[in-house]
Amino acid sequence: MPVIPFTKYIPPVPVVRALIQDDAGRVLLLQRANTSSGCGGWCLPGGKVDWGQTVAEALAREIMEETTLQLCEAEFFFMQDSLPTESESLHCLNLYFRCRVQGEIVLNPESSAYAWVAAGELGQYEIVFRNDEALFKHYARAVIPIYSVKKN
């Protein structure tokens, strides 16, 4: 019987991401700073779910920590498997939520800037952590009707 070498088991990391939209339909992006992961790139507010914390608690905490905005309502949007790459060693399970918030934005040291970005402006930003997939899906669903009526 062949001997199978033992490999260290590293479980996927659950991550929450917030799609926060303003009255003009633009989505909030943060420019990463002071971090080894994604520094200089743009991403949705969010982060890892802490041990012993619910996903809902993590979402509210991450939004508050990164922007000082208070989460009022959240709707699950979709889950994304983000496998390890050459530049990123983590296997993340990204849980995306469409969020309604209140308050004024004040950034923490993890971000150097923020922008409200419309669908047509996405190409102007270096989106990290595969958040571009969520943005494309969000904007596609915002303009594609839920149903269509065929005319004969």
Query: What distances in angstroms separate CA 26 from CA 12, 18, 20, 61, one per listed residue?
Result: 31, 13, 8, 22
The sign of the dihedral angle between the CA atoms of 46, 67, 117, 89 is negative
| Entry pTM | 0.86
Express each pLDDT in 128-142 by its tens digit: 999 999 999 999 986
| Whether the predicted pLDDT of 146 surpasses 80 | no
Segments making up each domain of the chain, as ranges? 18-140
Express each pLDDT in 79-129 by its tens digit: 999 888 777 788 999 999 999 999 999 999 999 999 999 999 999 999 999
CATH class of 18-140: alpha beta
> Taking all residues of the chain, what is their mean pLDDT, rounded to a whole number?
89
E strand segments, the chain: 13-20, 27-32, 42-43, 46-48, 70-82, 92-102, 111-117
> What are the tokens at 127?
């989106």
